[in-house]
Amino acid sequence: MERFVEVDGVRLWVAESGRADGSPLLLVMGANASAVVWPEEFVARLGEQHRVVRYDHRDTGRSTWAFDRRPYAVADLARDAVAVLDGLGVGRAHVVGMSMGGTLVQLLLIDCPDRLLSATVFATAVLEGAGPHGAPPPFVDIDPRLLALWEHLGDPRDREEEIAFRVRHWQLLNGEEVPFDADEFRRLEERVIAHAGRCDNPAAHARAGQGGLARGAALSASTTPTLVVEAPADPINPPPAAARITAAIPGAQQVTIAGMGHAIGSPVLAPLAEAILTHTAQVDGRNND
């Protein structure tokens, strides 16, 4: 089922799938990426156990593209996630966040714990201010090849040039420990472009304000069951990024997906889904006792 949810004059495209009687699970994607970036096989596997909800961030996919007229901060996108739950009448949900989505999930842990059944984050960094000495600023260990590529993120390109740029981006994000299938990610980006009906990239989230993110110290009060997935080949948030998050959130559990980078390609899709489902099943089991 597809629909739009309105928040602050912005329309967010939302899709539901999976078990209508399953506990809700909200997928929160990373920066400048629409809901279509979640692999269909991955969504289907989660849907065997859950009512899966995914949505297009502002300035992606079929949601409103208006950053140049109405700029916002990254932290505002966390409120969008809550608006999606409100729009669907979902009181509490398991929430899974990748990359920037993991940042947003950490904000939800702080501001909206009553809306979360559980949290899962991966390929992300802990909010600044966490831990006794404070977390390091983001992107301190990033692959310099990515930094060079990001300088051209919003450059004008035709469709074929844009697809080639995005596939190269995914190749770097994938890391070097698991095989990279360029055709797989080309098909992904063709779906992304068809879904959005456009191939340009405004890089809005890269330009969004960074205020309100240095709140890591507040994670120490979290009581939400949290899973942190370590991606050992992540070129943006390499180890010990996951360990820093785990240490910041009381009771958080950590698992490692061997060879995983900053992408959900075929080699890591199944183990990632199983790690999430094991976590959510444990939480649902305790809630149903």
Contacts of 187 (CB under 8 A, 6+ apart): none
- 170 Cα distance to chain centroid: 15
Give CA–CA dist 116/121, Å, rounded. Answer: 13
CB 38, CB 264: distance < 8 Å = yes
| 266 and 239 Cβ atoms separated by less than 8 Å | no
Contact 31, 146 (CB under 8 A): no
155 assigned to active site: no
Helix pair angle (266-288, 40-47), 10° resolution: 20
Marked catalytic residue, from 34, 63, 99, 222:
99
* Token duo for residue 267: 């080699």
- Yes or no: say if 29 and 101 are a contact pair by the CB < 8 Å rule: yes
Note the residue count of the chain.
289
* 262 counts as catalytic: yes
Active-site choice (50, 57, 94, 262): 262
Q: What is the CA radius of gyration of the chain?
A: 18
Q: Rounded to whole angstroms, how far apart are CA atoms 259 and 99?
A: 17
Cβ count within 10 A of residue 202 = 17
279 is catalytic: no
HSE-up of residue 116 (Cα within 13 Å, Cβ side): 25
- Residue ranges of alpha helices (H) inside the chain are 40-47, 76-87, 100-111, 144-150, 159-174, 182-196, 204-207, 241-248, 266-288
Q: Which residues are catalytic?
A: 99, 234, 262
